């Protein structure tokens, strides 16, 4: 590869006047490139993107050419190298990165040159490892330089932001890196850096802050705690944005919370810990010190039947008092918790209206729904999850009042396993369709017939923003179904595949006839990523 020629090619196409698309490139250039596009062959790429991909074909030469290329091309070089698994180039890009910030969310998103959004895909293990190796090489090079010459801080990398990676909860294949694997890789890198040692005071290079979303369980707790401890005085400073702890003992959860930077954390998600109010009363003051916390996700917030009720009440009051300390909280998820008749106590303590509220399987009563509809939260809610609460019977009217209260702002509504049959759905449709901005509707696990689904499809045509409906298998497709059918039966009983195939075909035809073919109607509850409040 001729370095001077390749630099000239990239510099030329970087000009705004040369920002041509795939359809206008020379035939010879097309033939040399299209062999490598495969699944991306239908994607429109700019000439800058195509030239960048061509330059990176020979990795050794591309690495040598990097110092000759304009720094403005580094973001696109990074995306192409990450996409095409050009690991040698990717490592060298991180090693020589000329900007203070290297952000995955900025670099791997859909852009003017390539519509592929890599953050919405499972990320390549090879590419992720190359980034980490490049960072390590950079730190070691800075340490070596620090003792012999003044450190130039003008173009020093200060922040590596690896937040926002796909976490779809699906088993990973060997070629991709899950959030758990990413947490482990970053943690081990921080530990290894600390073991090498830090530079002496006065000679130390600029430390790099690594922003990550951390996932931790019993198996990974020990080394993650060590990584957080070692990063305090290290050249690699670990900064957690979102923490998710699963099945972690109370004392370990507290230990991790004590190590996290209060100014960086925006979400705490405690899953499957079954803390109860007693355990939560121990943890919550450590959570409340994070004054910038925007999202808190808890489970099993209810009293322990083995405790005297007076202790349970004291713990609940203490929990409420601590909840009142949050000044930035916008999302609250309290799943599988006994909140019957107590929702007003919980929500009244909060200092600001919520925009996302998840109350799945909380045994809500009509008075809970009425309070929420009349509270200040209703006018701000973008996401509402009432899954697992019985919304039939005397809960139906309060639920309809709640829908009316949130109609102006609601984007995401989850009503899985709410015992909504055709009668309840038809009675609710006039209110439901007033939610003009609704994008997602989840109705899985409800005893709806094909007739009810067809009514929903016809009426929802006026909801122009609706993009996804997760619906149940119609009761027509089951054999010998008891009535009313328990949710467990709807989730576990066998369906008649031939009948359901006809249902799917009819729904598809109705969508086509109504001009709504772009709306996804599916029964795949596990294949749909839960809408993240921060991405609404």
Domain count, the chain: 2
Q: What is the largest CA-CA distance in the chain?
A: 82
Lowest-confidence range among 168-172, 356-360, 467-471?
Answer: 168-172
Residue finishing a domain among 145, 178, 209: 145
Q: What pLDDT, on a 0 to 100 scale, did the predictor assign at position 139?
A: 85
Lowest-confidence range among 3-12, 207-216, 275-284?
Answer: 3-12
pLDDT at 131 over 90: yes
Q: Are residues 138 and 249 in the same domain?
A: no
Residue 495 lies in a domain: yes
pLDDT at 528 over 80: no
Whether 412 contacts 531, CB under 8 Å: yes
In degrees and rounded to multiples of 5, residue 243 shows phi and psi of: -110, 125
Q: Are residues 375 and 504 in the same domain?
A: yes
Model pTM greater than 0.75?
A: yes
Q: Are residues 271 and 126 in the same domain?
A: no
Q: Which residue has the tokens 């850096």?
A: 193
Q: Are residues 465 and 318 in the same domain?
A: yes
User: What's the average model confidence in pLDDT over 38-46?
Assistant: 56
Residue 428 CA to chain centroid, in angstroms?
Answer: 31
User: What's the average model confidence in pLDDT over 495-514?
Assistant: 95
Residue 132 lies in a domain: yes
Ordered alpha helix ranges (H), 377-463: 396-406, 422-432, 450-459
Residue finishing a domain among 83, 116, 145: 145
Alpha-carbon distances of 361 from 77, 151, 336, 390, 403, rounded to whole Å: 48, 56, 5, 9, 18
Classify burial at 492, counting beta carbons within 10 Å of its beta carbon; exposed 0-12, middle 13-18, buried 19 or more: exposed
pLDDT category, 474, cuts 50, 70, 90?
A: very high
Q: Which residues pair with 441 in a beta bridge?
A: 413, 469
Q: What pLDDT, on a 0 to 100 scale, did the predictor assign at position 175?
A: 78
User: What's the average model confidence in pLDDT over 166-185?
Assistant: 74
Q: Are residues 253 and 121 in the same domain?
A: no
Residue 388 lies in a domain: yes
User: What's the average model confidence in pLDDT over 257-270?
Assistant: 94
Q: Are residues 368 and 502 in the same domain?
A: yes
> What value does the mean pLDDT of the chain take?
85
pLDDT at 157 over 70: yes
Alpha-carbon distances of 454 from 468, 474, 504, 508, rounded to whole Å: 15, 11, 11, 11
Q: CA–CA separation, 349 vs 323, rounded Å? A: 7
Task: Annotate 121-159 with three-state secondary structure.
Answer: CCEEHHHHHHHHHHHHHHHHHHHHHHCCCCCCCCCCCCE
User: What's the average model confidence in pLDDT over 251-257?
Assistant: 94
Tally the C-alpha atoms within 13 A of residue 164's C-alpha that lie toward its C-beta.
16
Q: Which two tokens stand for residue 181?
A: 């694997």
Q: What pLDDT, on a 0 to 100 scale, did the predictor assign at position 319?
A: 92
Alpha-carbon distances of 109 from 81, 104, 211, 463, rounded to whole Å: 14, 8, 17, 28
Find the domain containing 121 and state its range.
47-145
Q: Are residues 134 and 248 in the same domain?
A: no
Q: Are residues 419 and 287 in the same domain?
A: yes
Q: What pLDDT, on a 0 to 100 scale, did the predictor assign at position 32?
A: 35
pLDDT category, 178, cuts 50, 70, 90?
A: confident
Q: What pLDDT, on a 0 to 100 scale, did the predictor assign at position 234?
A: 84
pLDDT at 297 over 60: yes
Residue 234 lies in a domain: no
User: What's the average model confidence in pLDDT over 404-413?
Assistant: 98
Q: What pLDDT, on a 0 to 100 scale, did the predictor assign at position 13?
A: 42
> What confidence tens digit (pLDDT) does each residue in 59-91 have?
999 999 999 999 999 999 999 999 999 999 999
Lowest-confidence range among 36-40, 360-364, 442-446, 447-451?
Answer: 36-40
Residue finishing a domain among 145, 179, 203: 145
Q: What pLDDT, on a 0 to 100 scale, did the predictor assign at position 43?
A: 58
User: What's the average model confidence in pLDDT over 129-138?
Assistant: 91
User: What's the average model confidence in pLDDT over 239-248?
Assistant: 94
Q: What is the CATH number of the domain that holds 364?
A: 3.80.10.10
Q: What pLDDT, on a 0 to 100 scale, did the predictor assign at position 277?
A: 83
pLDDT at 146 over 60: no
Q: What pLDDT, on a 0 to 100 scale, did the predictor assign at position 491?
A: 85
Q: What pLDDT, on a 0 to 100 scale, did the predictor assign at position 58?
A: 94
Alpha-carbon torsion (342, 345, 350, 352), positive or negative: positive
Q: Are residues 271 and 140 in the same domain?
A: no
Residue 76 lies in a domain: yes
Q: Are residues 136 and 251 in the same domain?
A: no
Q: CA–CA separation, 530 vs 536, rounded Å? A: 11
pLDDT at 120 over 90: no
> What confidence tens digit (pLDDT) does each residue in 318-342 have?
999 999 999 999 999 999 888 999 9
Alpha-carbon distances of 48 from 37, 53, 77, 308, rounded to whole Å: 15, 9, 10, 70
> What percent of the chain shows pLDDT beyond 70?
83
Residue 396 lies in a domain: yes
Pairing of strands 176-177, 123-124: antiparallel
Whether 74 contacts 117, CB under 8 Å: no
For 197-235, give the DSSP string. Answer: --PPTTTPPPPEEEEEEEEE-TTTHHHHHHHHHHTTTSS
Using DSSP's 3-state secondary structure scheme, residue 245 falls into: strand
pLDDT category, 167, cuts 50, 70, 90?
A: confident
pLDDT at 21 over 60: no
Q: Which of 510, 440, 498 is nearest to 473 (CA)?
A: 498
Q: Are residues 280 and 419 in the same domain?
A: yes
pLDDT category, 169, cuts 50, 70, 90?
A: low
Residue 108 lies in a domain: yes
Residue 412 lies in a domain: yes
């Amino acid at each position: 590869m001729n370095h001077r020629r390749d630099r000239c090619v990239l510099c030329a196409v970087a000009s705004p006047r040369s920002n041509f698309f795939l359809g206008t490139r020379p035939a010879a250039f097309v033939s040399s490139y299209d062999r490598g596009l495969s699944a991306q062959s239908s994607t429109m790429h700019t000439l800058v993107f195509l030239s960048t991909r061509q330059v990176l074909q020979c990795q050794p030469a591309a690495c040598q050419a990097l110092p000759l290329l304009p720094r403005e091309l580094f973001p696109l070089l990074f995306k192409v190298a990450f996409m095409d698994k050009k690991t040698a180039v990717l490592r060298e890009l991180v090693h020589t990165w000329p900007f203070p910030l290297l952000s995955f969310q900025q670099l791997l998103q859909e852009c003017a040159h390539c519509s592929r959004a890599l953050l919405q895909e499972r990320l390549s293990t090879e590419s992720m490892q190359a980034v980490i190796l490049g960072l390590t090489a950079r730190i070691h090079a800075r340490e070596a330089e620090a003792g012999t010459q003044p450190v130039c801080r003008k173009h020093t990398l200060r922040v590596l932001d690896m937040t926002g990676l796909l976490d779809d909860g699906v088993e990973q294949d060997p070629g991709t890196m899950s959030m758990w694997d990413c947490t482990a890789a970053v943690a081990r890198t921080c530990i290894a850096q600390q073991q090498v040692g830090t530079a002496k005071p006065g000679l130390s290079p600029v430390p790099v802050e690594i922003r990550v979303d951390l996932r931790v369980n019993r198996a990974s707790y020990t080394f993650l705690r060590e990584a957080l401890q070692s990063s305090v005085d290290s050249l690699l400073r670990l900064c957690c944005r979102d923490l998710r702890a699963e099945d972690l003992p109370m004392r370990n959860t507290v230990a991790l919370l004590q190590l996290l930077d209060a100014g960086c954390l925006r979400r705490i998600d405690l899953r499957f810990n079954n803390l109860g109010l007693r355990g939560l009363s121990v943890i919550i003051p450590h959570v409340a010190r994070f004054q910038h916390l925007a999202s808190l996700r808890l489970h099993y917030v209810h009293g322990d039947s083995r405790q005297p009720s007076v202790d349970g009440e004291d713990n609940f009051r203490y929990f409420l008092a601590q909840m009142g300390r949050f000044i930035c909280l916008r999302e609250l998820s309290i799943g599988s918790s006994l909140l019957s008749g107590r929702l007003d106590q919980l929500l009244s303590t909060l200092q600001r209206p919520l925009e996302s509220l998840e109350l799945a399987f909380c045994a809500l009563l009509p008075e809970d729904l009425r309070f929420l509809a009349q509270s200040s939260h209703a006018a701000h809610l973008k996401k509402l999850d009432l899954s697992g609460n019985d919304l039939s019977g005397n809960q139906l009217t309060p639920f309809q009042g709640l829908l009316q209260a949130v109609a102006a702002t609601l984007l995401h509504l989850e009503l899985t396993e709410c015992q909504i049959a055709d009668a309840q759905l038809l009675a609710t449709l006039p209110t439901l369709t007033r939610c003009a901005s609704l994008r997602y509707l989840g109705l899985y696990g409800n005893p709806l017939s094909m007739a009810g689904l067809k009514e929903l499809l016809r009426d929802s045509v006026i909801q122009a923003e609706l993009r996804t409906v997760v619906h149940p298998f119609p009761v027509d497709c089951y054999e010998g179904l008891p009535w009313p059918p328990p949710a467990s039966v709807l989730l576990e009983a066998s369906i008649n595949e031939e009948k359901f195939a006809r249902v799917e075909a009819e729904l598809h035809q109705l969508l086509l006839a109504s001009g709504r073919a772009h709306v996804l109607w599916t029964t795949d509850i596990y294949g749909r990523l839960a809408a993240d409040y921060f991405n609404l």
